[in-house]
Structure 1
Amino acid sequence: MKRLILFGALCLPAFFAGCIHNDLPYPVVTINIEAIEAEGLDGAAQINAAQQTVILPLLETTDIRNVHITSVTLTEGGQSSVAFPGTFDLRTPLYTTLSLYQEYGWSIAATQTIERYFRVKKQVGAAEIDPANRTATAYVSRSTDLQNVPVKELKLGPAGITTYSPEIEGTTSFETVRLVDVTAHGRTEQWRLRVVPTDVTVRITQCDAWARIAWLAADGLSDTEMGFVYRRKGDTEWLAVPDVEIEGGTFRAKLAGLDPETTYELRAFSDTDSCDMREFTTEAAPQLPNAGFETWSTDRSDILYPYAADAPLAEQFWGSGNPGSMTLKKLVTTNEKDPRPGSEGQYCAQLKSQYVAFLGVGKFAAGNLFSGHYAETKGTDGIVNFSQPFTSRPVALHGWVKYNRGKMDYIKSSPVGMSFAKGDPDEGIIYMALGRWTAAEYGGTEQSPVQVYTRDTKTFFDPEGKDVIAYGEVVFTTSVDEWREFTVKLDYTATDVVPTHLMIVCSASRYGDYFTGSSDSVMWVDDFELVYE
């Protein structure tokens, strides 16, 4: 689901200054795939209305050439050029045109991961598996007798339904390539198995240094003792890295307790062999500016900003919907003299959802606070540039929160596959993301590249987008009457990718970007802190 918590940025005088003349013979009704079900899925289907795509995650035992889609639910009145239910070959995407008054092209694709491995005794590292060319190559020490190589494990197809001919088990000769027929779903593929001697017995394959953590991996000689030792550069004593995980001829560990901006030395060992020493330097561990929300200022239009009046643009870290809502003399985000217990400051930030109107006509605006800048108001909609430059990798966002959860009294629209009714409980949300976004692709600025236009759902932030490297959220489904701590834990897609920007969004109404929520919902936040472990 797309999540981007915004506000109804309003400029209703402009709304009344003009009128709309519509010469179209039919109304514009966007037709989406609202829900889809299929047999053999490994989790829920991923529907992206903005990109008009569906991803079906398949179990490894599902036949990707014969995926049975049992039901597809479209927006009311919509029709599909492809008939459902049905069975489809999803090795390539299935394309369908949805229509009512207009046509919308959608694609349905499948993803599938089949675990494959080839393990022999005294193997060095993991085998190289090449499904496209159907080869599996295991490396062994130079002293290995290739006429007598004990095969420990072989898996080249879906678990439980794959057969092998001939059976490759026990001690086998690998002086030449071995051929094996692998059969699943009634189809047979011929694979080539190779065992190759190597002079390398231990080597470091990964050392991703964060501020207080390093992610380590290495290849070694299976069936021997393997591990890592490290020390701060300049020290003489080597320290063992704890909790090493070993799988065949590979081993890995998470080395915690490091100091930021510090150089360390690392070795990997296997049996009595060790690799050349490698140096690595940890990242800085910066904190968020104005994390206690003590600094505020106003301009000549009485717009309240969460930064100093003389702050240059580069130091205006926090933004809100106030520039939009203040066109109608309303503030959705304010500073309040209600700090959390034990705070060294005097203020917190209050985010109050409300209906902002002119002459009784307006839009719902969610109370909000975010890293970035409010760009402009277009008619009754807002344009916001999200995120700020950031190149470190914290593991979590910690802070303090209170929340009053109201019942929805304003409903304009909702995410695909969801519906709301007046009286439904509102929800609050705080989320954080790290990514490698660019202004060229996402429409914002170099400082805040992710641009969202509330009129266009295709611009809404997608936490599963290709340039997101970490994401986490806390959703508030009940009121929080007293100050309490919260932690947004980040889930990283990779440990070796360095972000360029950080995004934090807080909203008293989770679906405020759809102008949906409760005017009774209020969130208070205070004393944010990035956690590096």
Structure 2
Amino acid sequence: MWNTLYRIAISIMLAGTLSCCIKNDIPFAKVPLSITGIEVEGQSGSAVISESESTVTVTLQETVNPKKVMLKTFTYTEKASSTLTAGTEIDLSQPYEVTLSLYQDYKWEIIGNQPIARRMIIDRQLGNSEFDVENHLATASIRKSADLKDIVLSDLKLGPEGALNDGVSGTPEVQWTFYRDFAQASVHVTFSDFVDETWTLRVYKSDKDVVTESADGWVNVAWLYGAGVAETECGFDIREDGSEDWTRVDQKYVTMDGGQFTARVPHLKANTTYECRAYSGDQVGDVVTFSTTETGSVPNMGFEDWHQEEKVICPWAQDGTRFWDTGNHGSTTLSEKDNITLSTEDIRPGSTGKLAAVLKSQKIVVKFAAGNLFIGEYKETKGTNGVLGFGRSFTSYPTRLKGYFKYQTALITEAIDKYASLKNQPDTCIVWVALGDWELQENPNSGEKTAVEVQTDDKGTGKYFDKNDSHIIAYGEMTCGENVNEYTPFSVELEYRATNRKPTALLIVCSASKYGDYFTGAPGATMWVDDFSLEYDYDD
């Protein structure tokens, strides 16, 4: 009896010991999780979702209390759980952290952006007022011929629309205190139950009536910035370095914003040094020197160079420069018949070349593949998903991409859940261009350097290009969702977000199916492209 009990006890102890030693080597699936949609009460425009930064930026109307924002709708990756749900009141006066969970946790931030259109206008002001929101300080300058003791405050708005200044709506009567170099006053600003601030107004006397602030030279274009007196004609003079004669910039190129003014000057020479100066009335500012730069080089813009590596058709010459690439590396896993982007002798009329590119969307076995062509490198295939590197080294300043295309659309039959609403709608082709200041990353397997990595995923939860990426300097796109039976010229204007940032990379992407990187589109949708070119000037 005791021997039996002893054996049972030993068996239980051994079982417990062995169970502690058993290691679970089966890894949990790694599923990237994303916020896919959000709307709050008092929102202005659409939310900006950045997959790369794991942030969602929501712009709030001026009159919304940022500490009490009601979440109307909130969506995220299917099957994930979230620490935040719709119907919750959140504080967006600072970034709000959200955790999405499915096997792993992913941290996201919701950022509230609440621009306030502030203004302070002084009679005989030079340039525009500046606002230090953190320190509640508004500053302005008056022209050198004006007297600080004659300051007239003609307009003031420091808070949300409808805020009170010293208890009154509109411009209050303020008491100025005079110092040697400036005059100062204070204003108490209130609005609803969340704005209660005391602002300092400070007005300086300038030693000038006009200032040449800066100049940014591109290739055939320069951007000139100045400050002057709003009630007078303001603009710029320009000349080549070494010339004696100034040329006045046509007023049609000048944009006024109060006392600030900007000129976009076209038709300049590349690789040339210029001088410019601002003027306001009969006064001129100091001379600023700047230089234009040279055009950039993009090989195979006519799509003449092709060769085949085993099963894959590649858009560059044998032993040539690998600048463009396609998704053919992934689509031909089973057969060389599945190349989705090919050369074609169907060229645009008037072309001096012999070949163009044709991009064919199709279903390959069980997955949809969009015909595509892009600057960059197809890095690898993971399972049935692709890893791509978009962009190549580029340091110039194009103003537009031009080219020729034609398109045959079809009804969308393939769509992931995120884009299920697009089914039975005509497919849309796209050409988009981005210029940015990314740090190029080298692929250790190939030695190729590209700017932005994209990882496709049939759940829509991969890593995608974000046109709101902070690295983007300029962006533009062309889309078409109808049949275009003959080659037609197109032009994509690059919308610059800054004129003084230095580019490092250029991205151009063409796809016969706009949402092809989400495995969504129409088998049979086909796009032809030919004779691309970059321009560096603006029309009049």
TM-score range, shorter chain: 0.7 to 0.9
1:292-311 → structure 2 map (5 Å cutoff): 292-299=302-309, 301-311=310-320
- Measured after TM superposition, the shift of residue 30 of structure 1 is 6.6
Q: Which residue of 1 aligns with 2:273?
A: 263
Alignment: residue pair count: 501
How many Å apart are 1:506 and its aligned residue?
0.5
Other-structure match for 2:109: 107
Pick closer, same or farther for the CA change 1:422–1:87 going to 2, 3 Å. Answer: closer
Whether the aligned pair in 1 keeps the contact of 2:165 and 2:172 (CA below 8 Å) is no
Q: Which residue of 1 aligns with 2:186?
A: 179
Partner of 1:391: 395
Unpaired stretches in structure 1, ≥5 consecutive residues: 1-20
Residue of structure 1 equivalent to 2:13? none
Pairing 1:234-273 to 2, within 5 Å after superposition: 234-243=242-251, 244-273=254-283
User: Which structure ranks higher in relative contact order (CA pairs < 8 Å, sequence separation ≥ 6)?
Assistant: 1
Alpha carbons of structure 1 residues 277 and 95: separation in structure 2 relative to 1, 3 Å: closer
Give 1:454 shift. Answer: 2.4
Name the residue aligned to 1:159. Answer: 161
In 2: Cα distance, 1:67 partner to 1:442 partner: 44
Residue 420 (structure 2) pairs with residue 419 (structure 1): yes
Cα shift at 1:400: 0.5
Out of 325, 331, 334, the residue aligned to residue 325 of structure 1 is 331
**SS across alignment from 2:469:** coil
Aligned counterparts, 1:161-240, within 5 A: 161-165=163-167, 168=171, 173-175=176-178, 176-186=183-193, 187-240=195-248
What residue is the counterpart of 1:147 in the other structure?
Answer: 149
The CA deviation at 1:223 is 3.0
Alpha-carbon distance between aligned partners in 1 of 2:36 and 2:274, rounded to the nearest angstrom: 52
Change in Cα spacing, 1:389 to 1:147, as seen in structure 2 (3 Å) is same
* One-letter code aligned to 1:145: D
SS at match of 1:324: helix
String of CA shifts for 1:201-249, please: whole Å, max 9, x gaps: 3221121111122111112234333221112334443222123333333
Q: How does 1:278-289 map to 2 (within 5 A)?
A: 278-286=288-296, 288-289=298-299
Q: For residues 118-168 of structure 1, give each alpha carbon's deviation from its aligned partner in whole angstroms, at most 9, with x where no partner exists.
A: 221222222221111111111223443222212222221122344344775
Q: 2:455 and 2:505 mapped to 1: Cα distance?
A: 19
Q: CA deviation at 1:321?
A: 1.8
Q: Distance in 1 between matches of 2:152 and 2:103?
A: 66
Letter in structure 1 aligned against 2:299: P
Shift of 1:503: 0.4
State whether structure 2 residue 346 is matched by structure 1 residue 342: no
Q: Residue 170 of structure 1: CA displacement?
A: 7.5
AA aligned opposite 2:154: K
Letter in 2 for 1:436: D
State the one-letter code of the partner of 1:306. P
CA distance in 2, matches of 1:114, 1:516: 40
The answer to whether the Cα contact below 8 Å between 1:149 and 1:174 also exists between their aligned partners in 2 is no
Q: Give, in whole Å, the separation in 1 of the partners of 2:424 and 2:396.
A: 42
Residue 227 of structure 1 aligns to which amino acid in structure 2? Answer: G
**Aligned partners of 2:271 and 2:291 also within 8 Å:** yes
C-alpha distance in 1 between matches for 2:32 and 2:353: 49
Q: What does residue 12 of structure 1 align with?
A: none
SS in 2 for 1:419: helix
Q: Equivalents in 2 of 1:373, 1:78: separation in Å?
A: 32
Q: In 2, distance between residues paired with 1:171 and 1:33?
A: 48
SS in 2 for 1:132: coil
Deviation at 1:528, TM superposition (A): 0.4
Q: 1:163 to 1:241 in 2, by over 3 A?
A: same
**Aligned partners of 2:223 and 2:265 also within 8 Å:** yes
Shift in CA distance, 472/323, structure 1 to aligned 2, threshold 3 Å: same
Structure 1 distance, partners of 2:274, 2:439, is 33
CA distance in 2, matches of 1:88, 1:49: 22
User: CA 1:22 to 1:364, structure 2 compared with 1: closer, same or farther past 3 Å?
Assistant: farther
Q: In 2, Cα distance between the equivalents of 1:459 and 1:82?
A: 23
Distance 1:344 1:164, change over 3 A: farther
Paired-residue identity, %: 39
Distance 1:404 1:193, change over 3 A: same
Q: What is the distance in 1 between the residues matched to 2:412 and 2:495?
A: 30
Distance 1:285 1:57, change over 3 A: same
Task: Report if aligned partners of 2:144, 2:209 keep a CA contact under 8 Å in 1.
Answer: no
Q: Amino acid of the residue matched to residue 185 of structure 1?
A: S
Which AA in structure 2 matches 1:398?
Answer: K
Distance 1:64 1:304 in 2: 54
1:15 alignment counterpart = none
Report SS of the residue matched to 2:517.
Answer: helix
Determine if contact 1:442/1:450 at 8 Å carries over to the other structure.
Answer: no
Q: Tell me the TM-score normalized by structure 1.
A: 0.86
What secondary structure is seen at the aligned counterpart in 2 of 1:323?
helix
Q: How much has 1:34 moved relative to structure 2? A: 3.8
Code of the residue aligned with 1:229 in structure 2: it is D
Larger radius of gyration: 2
Secondary structure at 2:359's aligned position in 1? strand
CA distance change for structure 1 residues 169 and 51 in 2, over 3 Å: closer, same or farther?
closer
1:527 aligns with 2:535: no
Partner of 1:488: 492
Q: Which residue of structure 1 lines up, in the alignment, with residue 481 of structure 2? A: 477
1:473-515: CA deviations, max 9, x gaps?
1122112111111112222211111210000011112222122
Q: Match for 2:435: what amino acid?
A: L
Map 1:429-440 onto structure 2 (within 5 A): 429-439=430-440
- Residue in 1 aligned with 2:376? 372
Q: What are the Cα deviations for residues 363-410 of structure 1, in whole angstroms up to 9, with x where unaligned?
A: 322111111122233333332222111111112111100111122333
SS for the counterpart of 1:147 is helix
Of stretches 234-243 and 439-448 in structure 1, the one that deviates more from structure 2 is 439-448
Aligned partner of 1:68 in structure 2 is 70
Change in CA separation of 1:266 and 1:146 when aligned onto 2, cut-off 3 Å: same
Task: Give the aligned partner of residue 450 of structure 1.
Answer: 452
Q: Give me the whole-angstrom Cα distance separating, in 2, the residues matched to 1:164 and 1:115.
A: 19
